[in-house]
């Protein structure tokens, strides 16, 4: 019996990186998982892996910036899995640029994927969780949602918004037995980190060395961030809401 046995979870950005690791871990811990992503091929591959290992999962193609897609993702999760207990708002992108070099289109895209998606999925998930008697919402923010970072203005602004949206929702929905928390990862070995190096024109190996300058002297693994999500989804965190959990190898410690 896993710690999420009997739970139904919807994970956005579930086709790769932290989302993929979270989907696989939740399934191993007994949850039925809906993997939502625009990347159908990789999303379906995650679902196959879960099913081949004895779990239950479905894939939902979802553009998290579109209200109709988000509403459908929640409805399909409830209809197919029988309800919704856990929402992991994990989809995200980054654009590395200071304000003068950030185009209006890039600003709007980052805000749509990183912030609007949390609003939309939560808007439709909360009523489903109320019907189920409660639930847990886990938003993926960032260490750069708590402190600023160079050449990442739109990203920092978006993740700061996620942190405070998390706290506001925790206040609004505590009486409905819905806990809302966010994770603030440090640099993690994902495709997005490689994309950052490309955007900055830096060799990836050198970028990794710079990213590892923290007390634990390395970057994180997606599976380590997924363990934090598991904690926030499980009864182990039953008295935790409104929290921004930093998982960054000590990067923000001093």
Give domain limits for the chain: 8-186+221-247
80 pLDDT band, cuts 50/70/90, is very high
Rounded to two decimals, the pTM is: 0.97
pLDDT tens column, 32-75: 999 999 999 999 999 999 999 999 999 999 999 999 999 999 99
For the question of residue 124 being annotated catalytic, the response is no
Q: Measured on CA atoms in the order 34, 39, 44, 45, is the torsion positive or negative?
A: negative
With 0-12 / 13-18 / 19 or more C-beta atoms within 10 angstroms meaning exposed / middle / buried, residue 249 is buried
Is the pLDDT at 1 greater than 90? The verdict is: no
**Which one from 124, 155, 204, 231 is the annotated catalytic residue?**
155
CA count, 13 A, side-chain hemisphere, 136 = 25
Q: Which one-letter DSSP state was computed for residue 253? A: -
Residue ranges of alpha helices (H) inside 82-187 are 104-111, 117-132, 153-173
pLDDT tens column, 23-32: 999 999 999 9
Interval 150-154 mean pLDDT: 97
- CA end-to-end span of the chain: 40
The whole-number pLDDT of residue 234 equals: 98
pLDDT tens column, 12-23: 999 999 999 999
Q: Which residues, in sequence order, are CB contacts of 163 under 8 Å at separation 6+?
A: 141, 145, 146, 182, 184, 244
Q: How many CB atoms lie within 10 A of CB 120?
A: 24
Q: What share of the chain in percent tops pLDDT 90?
A: 98
Q: Which residues, in sequence order, are CB contacts of 200 under 8 Å at separation 6+?
A: 96, 151, 207
- Which residues lie across from 180 on neighbouring strands? 137
The whole-number pLDDT of residue 156 equals: 98
Fold of 8-186+221-247: Rossmann fold (3.40.50)
The whole-number pLDDT of residue 248 equals: 98
Compute the distance between CA of residue 214 and CA of residue 77 in angstroms, rounded to an integer: 39
């Amino acid at each position: 019996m896993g710690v999420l046995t009997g739970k139904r979870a919807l994970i956005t950005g579930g086709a790769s990186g932290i989302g993929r690791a979270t989907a696989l871990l939740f399934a191993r811990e007994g949850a039925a998982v809906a993997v939502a992503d625009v990347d159908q091929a990789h999303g379906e591959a995650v679902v196959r892996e879960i099913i081949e290992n004895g779990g239950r999962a479905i894939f939902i193609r979802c553009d998290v910036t579109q209200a109709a897609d988000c509403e459908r993702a929640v409805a399909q999760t409830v209809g197919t899995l029988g309800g919704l207990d856990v929402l992991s708002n994990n989809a995200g992108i980054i654009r590395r640029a200071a304000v003068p070099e950030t185009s209006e289109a890039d600003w709007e895209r980052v805000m749509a994927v990183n912030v609007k998606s949390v609003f939309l999925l939560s808007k439709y998930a909360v009523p489903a969780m109320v019907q189920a008697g409660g639930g847990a919402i886990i938003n993926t923010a960032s260490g750069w949602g708590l402190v600023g970072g160079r050449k990442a203005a739109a990203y920092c602004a978006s993740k700061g918004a996620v942190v405070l949206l998390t706290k506001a929702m925790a206040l609004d929905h505590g009486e409905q037995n819905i806990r809302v928390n966010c994770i603030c990862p440090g640099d993690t070995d994902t495709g997005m980190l490689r994309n950052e190096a490309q955007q900055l024109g830096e060799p990836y190996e050198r970028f990794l060395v710079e990213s590892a300058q923290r007390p634990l002297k390395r970057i994180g693994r997606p599976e380590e961030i997924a363990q934090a999500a598991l904690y926030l989804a499980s009864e182990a965190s039953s008295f935790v809401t409104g929290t921004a959990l930093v998982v960054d190898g000590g990067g923000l410690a001093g």
